[in-house]
Amino acid sequence: MRISQRVRRAMVAGAAAVAVCVSAQPALAVVGASADRRGPSFNGSVYAIAHRGDTVYVGGSFTRMTIDGRTVTRNRLAAFSGRTGELLDWAPSADDTVRALAVVPGWVYAGGDFDEVNGEERQALARIDAGDAEVGSFDHRFAGSVRTLAVGHGRLYAGGTISRVDGERRGQLAAFSLADDELDDTWTPRPGGMVNSLAVRGNRVYLGGAFPRRLAAVDAADGRDDAGFRPDAPALVHAIAVDGSGVYAAMGGAGGRAAKFSTSGATRWIRVFDGDAQAIAVLDGVAYVGGHFDRACANGDDADNGECEAGSVPRVKLAAVSPSGSLTGWAPQANGVVGVRTLVIKGATVAAGGDFTTIGGRTQRRYASFG
């Protein structure tokens, strides 16, 4: 469903006046709740989605992909046209799970648990030609796994369980120059635990994970801690997203939580679910949330150990939160135990990947897009 810019601006401007409630006006859900039926399906988990123009790149633990009735071998990496749904020939082969993707002109960076791509040794991070799928010369030795990637300021930022790169100590994070592929010796933050998600905006790199503060920001140039961002994240952070108004986090904990924080770290809203929120993406101020929850608390942060004091409403693996913090009526109803692992915005489309096999009771295996 498309919404005009005038209507969209009016909705966002008026959102602050809407009280937190069980369901906001349906118009707040920018995208429709029905998945695009032209999308592909996969025989294993989808962990990462990235876009380059109309091309959609996908990474995960899958070994086969089915699209337009045709099943092909795709070893943890695949690509298709987001406009037509057409299968593309791009088919590099990784020997273990791909957990993160980042796209720059001409190249796709893939991070994960693998040791080889296309039969060439590439530990945890590889650069792959966006057209012919050849493995590039980018080659570094990792101790640990890459779980998240982000691009900005002429750098590729990587996070995960990274203790060393090329023999040099790292605190779960590393950066590489996009100009010459070299490891950046000046960017060495040490959050103190696993990093699950990265996002770059302005002169900050935001990070979320299992480290003591759970959600933090560091300087994009020198990696120093940014004391101007001090949120109180109540649980492990699985994923983050940023826009001009703040930082959004998908969290675990007792039940699960999605939250928005200001750029200084003040809490703007919190929504509580009965399972972990594992993915989050933002479009026009609406936060789309994915995870392995089945219900959402009817009010905001009204739960004690995951129990909703004011009752709950069905939101199976997917939900959306308005700019004011109200739960919207968007409820595609996915399935599965793990549910949704990743959400990505492209234009006016929200793409979801994970372990689900149906959306709204219809077959939709591990990838879906809404727009």
SS3 12: helix
At 296, the amino acid letter reads A
pLDDT tens column, 274-285 = 999 999 999 999
Residue-level pLDDT at 303: 67
Mean pLDDT of 200-225: 98
CA distances in angstroms from 102 to 65, 90, 110, 151, 259, listed in the order given: 21, 16, 7, 7, 25
In angstroms, the CA 289 to CA 342 distance is: 9
- Tell me the backbone φ, ψ of residue 344, rounded to 5 degrees: -140, 140
What separation in angstroms does the CA of 266 have from each of 59, 119, 253, 279? 34, 48, 20, 21
Q: Are 9 and 302 in contact (CB under 8 A)?
A: no
Chain centroid offset of residue 61 CA:
16
pLDDT at residue 29 greater than cutoff 80: no
Average pLDDT, the chain: 91
Residue 30's pLDDT band (cuts 50, 70, 90): low
Secondary-structure breakdown of the chain: helix, strand, coil percentages, each rounded to the nearest 5: 5, 45, 50
Question: Which of left, alpha, beta for 147 (phi over 0: left; psi -120 to 50: alpha)?
Answer: alpha
pLDDT band at 5; cut points 50, 70, 90: very low
pTM comes to 0.91
pLDDT in tens, 150-186: 999 999 999 999 999 999 999 999 999 999 999 999 9
Q: Tell which residue, 94, 90, 96, has the closest CA to residue 117.
A: 94
What pLDDT shows up at residue 38? 82
pLDDT at residue number 304:
64
The pLDDT score that the predictor gives to residue 18 is 29
Given pLDDT bands bounded at 50, 70 and 90, which one contains residue 143? very high
Which amino acid, residue 93? S
Is residue 205 within 8 A of residue 158, CB to CB? The reply is no
Q: What is the pLDDT of residues 220-249, one digit of tens each?
A: 999 999 999 999 999 999 999 999 999 999
Rounded distance between C-alpha atoms, residue 288 and residue 290, angstroms: 7
Residue 88 has pLDDT above 90, yes or no: yes
Report whether pLDDT(13) > 50: no
Q: Is the pLDDT of residue 57 over 90?
A: yes
- Sheet containing strand 98-104, strands side by side: 98-104, 107-112, 125-129
pLDDT band at 129 (very low <50, low <70, confident <90, very high): very high
| Cβ-based burial of 357 (10 A; exposed 0-12, middle 13-18, buried ≥19) | middle
Taking the CA atoms of 251, 253, 256 and 257 in sequence, report the sign of the dihedral they define.
negative
What's the confidence (pLDDT) of residue 37? Answer: 82
- Residue among 365, 335, 339, 341 at smallest CA distance from 37: 365
CA distances from 198 to 57, 184, 224, 244, 341 (A): 19, 17, 15, 16, 15
Q: What is the residue-wise DSSP string for 115-131?
A: SEETTEE--SEEEEETT
53: Cα within 13 Å, side-chain hemisphere: 9
